[in-house]
Amino acid sequence: MRGGENANQSQFDSSEPCTNEGMPTIDFRIISSAEQRETIAQDFHALVNATEGAVIAEIAVVDITPSPTSNPIDAELARMWDEDFGASADPNTPAEFATIRVKVTHNALGSLSHLTMHFAELLTIRDEKPPAEPLLRQVQDDAGRPRVPWHVDVRP
């Protein structure tokens, strides 16, 4: 899956703020260097802190043993790493699989989809420079590119 595709994402939309009961776990499965993973985890913590209590969540990094032969998600993440990141990666710092788990205990921001997209935005790089052509500036829709290969899964 390319970053941003959420094939297994469940919808838990509600106009009422959610607390403890029935709150989900959002798992971002990533492949990255240890340094990248640490930076991303810090960014996730900063996002929760920036909501000033509107979101309360426990964030944990869980090391995982990949299974590219039996898990198509791992195979796709590994392929993306090799194709898009492998050439620029430091050969002395190998890529590792991990899950960044966001266990939400309170969400007053709205839907779970909305909250998940806030976290997904932290895994997306957007080009700062607008296109030179005026026509392209008018129709620009920058979907961005993944900061690291990732896949999101939301579980109730």
CA–CA distance, 56 with 42 (Å, rounded to integer): 15
CA distances, 29 to each of 50, 138, 145 (Å): 23, 35, 16
Query: CA 46 → CA 40, 148, 154, distances in Å?
Result: 10, 18, 21
From first to last of the 156 residues of the chain, give the pLDDT tens digit.
344 443 333 333 333 444 445 679 999 999 999 999 999 999 999 999 999 999 999 999 999 888 877 889 999 999 999 898 876 667 777 899 999 999 999 999 989 999 999 999 999 987 776 666 665 555 555 667 899 999 999 987
Which region holds residue 96: left if phi is over 0, alpha if psi is between -120 and 50, else beta?
beta
**0.85 exceeded by pTM:** no
> What's CA 144's distance to the chain center, in Å?
13
